[in-house]
Structure 1
Amino acid sequence: MMIAEKKTEAARILGEQLELFPSINESDIERTLFLLDKFVYMKMLVKDFEEHEQDLYQTDIEGETARRLSEEDTHADKTSNAIIFHQKRKWIYNEYKIAIRSIERAHRLIIDEDMRKAVHFRYLEGHKFMIALKFTYMSKSTFQRKLNAGVASITDTLKLMGILGREWKY
């Protein structure tokens, strides 16, 4: 009877204790896979924005991009719309930079070299599964296992960094 009471007390204490490192769930893994699938695109967009920011802004002002921000606008204030459009583009650029840096940091923190290679070729370089498999010289099942473990490791790190709590709707 005393043992059962002690287990209950221990369970109660564990239930009230805050997690130092929050555990990941299926939703976290789905968010990580979303970010990993978009990684190459985000990286290209960031590079393009850095190289052509002034050209994009000038095109917004002179072109028809900023004519109306939405179809519901009754009139168009092209100059202010161009500024709003450019600020939104810059905000997305900054969000993508945060995501890219966080994913790269989480990737570097993977301890197992094979896991790191699997994630690198599949997601950071953006190769299809079978092509990434050829780069690693692993069997298909080993590659899948290493890839899954690598994604779990990145998910864990991104959750600790607070990246998975952010809204990524673009």
Structure 2
Amino acid sequence: MEWFPEATAAEAQAVRNLLRRYPVMRRTVSALSQLPNLTEKQNDVQQTYQLKIRNIELAVNLIMDEEVKNMIEYRFIKGHPRKAAVNRFRLITDRSVDRKIREGISSIANTLKLMGEI
């Protein structure tokens, strides 16, 4: 019996896709906030993206392992490609970087599932 249900593989993949879109969502919110008058659709997009951004940032901050958190922030929040992440964390193997990123995505997926985001 589980207190809180864990995220499935499909939900983890959805979170990975959401994390990949994170930099675009941030830029979109920033660009929309510069406009003086927003249409109804622009306002809806801005509010939806702001909520998703806040939830993602909260879930990332709740990752317990600092090394995993740093990798997730570097790879997805700052928007660097996998190759750059492997180079930055070169003291460990590329497979270990991938494993730790999967752990971080799993943690984020569990948090977002608990909050009802996914």
TM-score normalised to structure 1 length: 0.65
Whether the 8 Å contact between 1:118 and 1:133 is mirrored in structure 2 is: no
State the SS of the aligned residue for 1:105. Answer: helix
1:11-31 per-position Cα deviation (integer Å, ceiling 9, x unaligned): xxx5xxxx5312211221121
CA root-mean-square deviation: 1.3
Does residue 161 in structure 1 map to residue 82 in structure 2? no
Q: How far does the alpha carbon of each residue in 1:47-80 deviate from its partner, in whole angstroms, 9 at most, with x for none?
A: 11112243xx4xxxxxxxxxxxxxxxxxxxxxxx
Give the partner amino acid of 2:43.
Answer: K
Q: Which runs of 5+ in 1 are unaligned?
A: 1-13, 58-85, 165-170
Measured in 1, the distance between the counterparts of 2:70 and 2:36 equals 33
TM-score w.r.t. length of structure 2: 0.92
Q: What is the number of equivalent residue pairs in this alignment?
A: 117
The runs of at least 4 consecutive aligned structure 1 residues that moved more than 4 Å come to none
SS at match of 1:30: helix
Contact preservation (8 Å) 1:24, 1:156: yes
Contact 1:106 1:158 in 2 (8 A): yes
Q: Which residue, out of 112, 117, 120, partners 2:73? A: 120
Point out the structure with max Rg over C-alpha: 1
SS of the residue corresponding to residue 122 of structure 1 reads helix
Aligned equivalents of 1:134, 1:108: Cα separation in 2: 23
Distance 1:51 1:20 in 2: 43
Change (3 A) 1:143 1:94: same
1:88 correspondence with 2:41: yes
| 1:51 counterpart (34, 49, 57) | 34
Task: Report which structure shows greater RCO (CA 8 Å, sep ≥6).
Answer: 2
Q: Which amino acid aligns with 1:130?
A: K
